[in-house]
Chain A
Amino acid sequence: MKKFVFILLVGLLSVFAFSQVKNPDMIFDATLSEPDTLDPHHAYDTASGEVIFNVYDNLIAYDGGSMTDFIPMLSTVVPSVENGYLRDDGTTYVFPIRKGVKFHNGNDLTPEDVEYTFERGILYDPAAGPMWMLIEPIFGAFTVRDLVEEYVGASWDKIFDSKMNPTSKEYETALVNFYYDVIDPAIEVVGDEVHIHLVRPYAPFLNIICNGGGWGAIIDKEYSIQIGLWDGKAEGWWKYHGWTKEQSPLFDHAMGTGPYKLVEWDHAQQRIVLERFDGYWKGPAAIKTVVIQGIDEWSTRRAMLEKGDADIIAAPVQYLDVLKSMQGVTVIEGLPTVQITSLGFNWEIKPESPYIGSGQLDGNGIPTDFFEDENVRLGFAYAFDYEGMIDEILNGLGIHVPTALPEGFLGFDASLPKYTLDLEKAENYFRRAYRGRLWQQGFKMDVLYNIGNEERRVAAEILRDNLAKINPKFQVEVRGVQWPTYLDARENMILPVYIIGWLADFPDPHNFIFTYYHSQGDYGHYYGTKFVEFATLPRPEFGGKSLNKMIEDASLETDPYKREQMYVDIQKFVIDYALTLPLYQPLAIRVHRDWLKGYVYNPIWPGDYYYLYSK
């Protein structure tokens, strides 16, 4: 109704609309949300990332829209074996630090700033933050807590009291030594260079530090200490660990070397104002002021675009036709994203789940290990209409992919077999499941989606309808719940299947393959202990290695050709066993005024890089 009324009104009033270049020295980006935090070591969302991306610089950067080619930034070299800056069998990365670079406050960039940045991020390591991406390759653990517990030989709760004070002098000494023995040697200043030592070769490392949305951003040591961040000393480092985002002084402050300075974050108006940094080492940006404002109402964003007050807007795909008909507006369709929407199976549903009916294979429910049976999984795989979903529901803005690895990533192979809608094939698999009992008895279960996500609702309904076509005794009820309820249910292992998306942290296959198919992956560990058994079993397909081991080895392989083949082998395996159903890789749209020049799209960037723009 709302959409219809709006389109009608726009049509009636379009005669009034006119456009002329407005505010030539300013870009207004009307977006959907405001940042979560501006602390680069806590930010994990794209709204925060976009601001950080424009205010800070990294050691290296992606070359324009490429996700595989790097260019130097604050480091004058992109380390590689060939240029001698990647040493010790791929475990030492050497970054010569650029001279003559200034922070926004006029301070000079030094190698000590770089060392401080990484050490501060690692020691801070907030819960649900992004620092695991650096801790994993450098130390071989996921959190600094794990490292401390291993080093000290006691649990975190035993080492610290509730106020984060060490419970004994002995622990305090050990914590100080932890810094000297573990953290400090990993990141070293050697002359004008910074050396980062990894625990073992790790292929995605450059991709991780290249990410402009936070964890690779270089901060000013002097300024940081001045505003209350870690003081750079071994003694008492733990007082600066794990703050909540609002406790960090960098929550709404920023001091980088990037092309724009943070002028204001107006929380009430959800508005960020950036101003050109005239002392930027690459030369000042063309546009003086950038305003990024969260405007929740679509009609308002659209009106501001039409009027020329907004140069860029966040636009829902359902309004594509309206936008394309607007004069003076550029609409780019079909931009690849680095995310996958998939359907995951729970191999070990908790018996108390309210979504599995009787919990038995009696036609009124499903047993808790229902999805351990590969015939059931394959039956589901061929009961979903992948192409129909993309064409009809996503308006063509999706890619049918073979596995949960997006197109554009190393190891992606479009020639791998894809599941397609094939009810006959699905029936054959279902008939084989449970030695024919499933076909005779039927089943009943619920498929949940998070309310507001229409794509997921429709995906669940497509599955429901097709299953009922295969056998009327296959009954699926589609139920909408709030997002937290949905995630709680997944956390408690009571969802039989779950439709969920994954947005890349860094553009490397490890970030998807490990997530989905390793039994310790972010999604893999929700498949249950029966999946752990499956994933650790030696497999002839991998020359006797388990699936888990194969995934781990692929992340260590530094030869890209060998690595690519390993990922292809892993994908063949997961397709055969239908470990997840990759429903689609979404494609994005981009909408801005014609007068905005210099737009470059890189799927892994958190947002716009305004330095490239002019009007």
Chain B
Amino acid sequence: MTTYIIRRLLLLPLIILGVTLIVFSMSQLLGPLKLLSTYVDPNTYAKMSERDIQILMKQYGLTDPFPVRYGKWVKNLLKGDLGWSVVGKEPVLDALIHRFPYTIELALYALFPIIGVGIWLGVTAAVHHNSFIDQFIRIFALIGWSLPDFVWAILVLLIFYIGLGWFPPGNLSIWANQIVKSASFKNYTHLLTIDALLNGRIDIFWDALRHIIGPVIAISWLWWANLLRITRSSMLEVLRKDYVRTARSKGLPEKVVINKHARKNALIPVVTTAGQMVIGLLTGVVIVEMVFVRTGLGSFAATAAQQLDYASIMGVLLFTSLLLIIGNLIIDISYAIIDPRIRLG
């Protein structure tokens, strides 16, 4: 197991380098003029003189040959400089650091309801196969699965913000934001709810919580649908296995059969899906972030891609590659823990 982990970790830089090389090459196919347009406001770009264009291309190093530019990018990367983020209006590394806490916090709050409720619904549906409960849960999943995320997100916003006034968009209210930005408020983790508690500000904790529940609801239903479908089908498959039949024929109570014999074995595909969900949540949830004005990684990446801000795209890519590789490694290790028959190495 240890050898396997070390080997995977050693491969990490190579994989990342490969990925960045591919994306960097793709972005360079756009040509220097298109890349230059990223740095200039569209109205201004239309007004630029040929001389302006030449000066800016030189300033942003867009006239250098591809290998030179990639070399510079890698060299700067090793110094911790990921370039300037045009969409973020700050260095890429700062942009990632400033946005990631919003994403982490949302992921943390969304993760437990998604996984807990998703698995519970899936197991319940499988146990009550073809019953009313099963049909109800399946319809519930079907709606969640087929509803476009922007519709559901807007619906949540309308019901819980306009209708009930409970969960407003944004990260914090303006008054709370002013306190958080003041010198007296210590940012220990940059996670608003946790920092609020550590600073003893229940009012800010409550305000931050109000702002996060809306997007959590919006994300949860969409992802429950996915998770419960996987859990249900996996559980149904396991319930038909011989060892489950054996357990039942031994006269074990149904609760023990389900919880001890069936559910654990049904969790392997669920772990894969749940792991991917965690990675998905950490790399950003574009639509929900945009509708609820939570400026996390998802909306940042989407805007960077729209505006061809290749420095930001490369930064996000690097970051998400790291998350993906480490996340997949954790998923693989989890397999071994859940099912001892699986051996890594």
Contacts and interface: CB of A to CB of B under 8 A. Distances in A.
Interface of A: 2, 5-6, 9-10, 13, 16-17, 23, 26, 28, 34-36, 44-45, 127-128, 142-143, 145, 242, 244, 246, 252, 264-270, 273, 289, 291, 293, 295-297, 299-300, 303-304, 306-307, 309, 482-485, 487-488, 491, 500, 502-503, 522
B308 A13 contact: no
A16 B166 CA distance: 12
Nearest to B302: A296
Contact of A297 (B162, B171, B291): B291
Given A242-B55, A244-B59, A483 B37 contact: yes
Nearest to A244: B59
B161 interface: yes
Given A23-B174, A484-B34, A491 B169 contact: no
B35 to A, nearest CB: 8
A268 B45 CA distance: 25
B60 A269 contact: no
A295 B293 contact: yes
B162 A306 contact: yes
Given A23-B174, A267-B88, A488-B31, 4 more contacts: A9-B155, A16-B163, A291-B174, A303-B169
Task: Point out which of A2, A127, A487, A503 has the most chain B C-beta atoms below 10 A from its C-beta.
Answer: A127
18 contacts: A5-B151, A13-B159, A17-B162, A44-B43, A128-B40, A128-B48, A242-B59, A244-B56, A244-B60, A246-B84, A267-B94, A269-B293, A291-B174, A293-B293, A296-B290, A299-B157, A306-B162, A483-B42
Contacts of B158: 9-10, 13, 303
B181 interface: yes
Given A127-B52, A244-B60, A269-B295, A309 B157 contact: no
Interface stretch (B95-103, B113-121, B263-271): B95-103
A293 B174 CA distance: 11
Contacts of A266: 181
Contacts of B188: none
B89 A34 contact: yes
A495 to B, nearest CB: 13
Interface of B: 30-31, 33-34, 37, 39-53, 55-56, 59-60, 84, 88-90, 94-95, 98-99, 102, 150-151, 154-155, 157-159, 161-165, 168-171, 174, 178, 181, 290-293, 295, 299, 303, 308
Nearest to A295: B293
A264 B183 CA distance: 13
A305 to B, nearest CB: 10
Contacts of B290: 296-297, 300
Contact of A267 (B33, B44, B90): B90
A6 B155 CA distance: 8
Q: Main SS of chain A's interface residues?
A: mixed
A307 B168 contact: yes
A228 B181 CA distance: 25
Nearest to B171: A269
B37 A309 contact: no
Given A5-B151, A6-B154, A127 B56 contact: yes
B291 A491 contact: no
A14 B45 CA distance: 42
Task: Point out which of B52, B88, B291, B293 has the most chain A C-beta atoms below 10 A from its C-beta.
Answer: B293
Nearest to B155: A9
Given A128-B45, A267-B95, A300-B157, A13 B40 contact: no
Contacts of B292: 300
Contacts of A23: 174
A491 B95 contact: no
A26 B174 contact: yes
Nearest to A243: B59
A406 to B, nearest CB: 15
A580 to B, nearest CB: 15
Contacts of B163: 13, 16-17
A5 B291 CA distance: 14
Nearest to A515: B47
Contacts of A291: 174
Contact of A303 (B31, B161, B308): B161
Contacts of A6: 154
Contacts of B84: 246
Contacts of A297: 290-291, 293
A16 B168 contact: no
A2 B291 CA distance: 13
Task: Point out which of B47, B90, B150 has the most chain A C-beta atoms below 10 A from its C-beta.
Answer: B47
A299 B165 CA distance: 16
A300 B291 contact: yes
Contacts of A483: 37, 42
Contact of B43 (A45, A143, A265, A484): A45
A85 B55 CA distance: 39
A369 to B, nearest CB: 22
Contacts of A246: 84, 89
Task: Point out which of A17, A143, A487 has the most chain B C-beta atoms below 10 A from its C-beta.
Answer: A487
Contacts of B30: 484
B98 A267 contact: yes
A140 B132 CA distance: 84
Nearest to B97: A268
* List of 9 A-B pairs having minimum Cβ-Cβ separation, nearest first: A16-B163, A484-B37, A127-B55, A484-B34, A45-B41, A268-B98, A127-B52, A128-B52, A44-B44
Contacts of B40: 128
B262 to A, nearest CB: 41
Given A267-B98, A299-B157, A488 B34 contact: yes
Contacts of B150: 2
Contacts of A482: 34
B46 A487 contact: yes
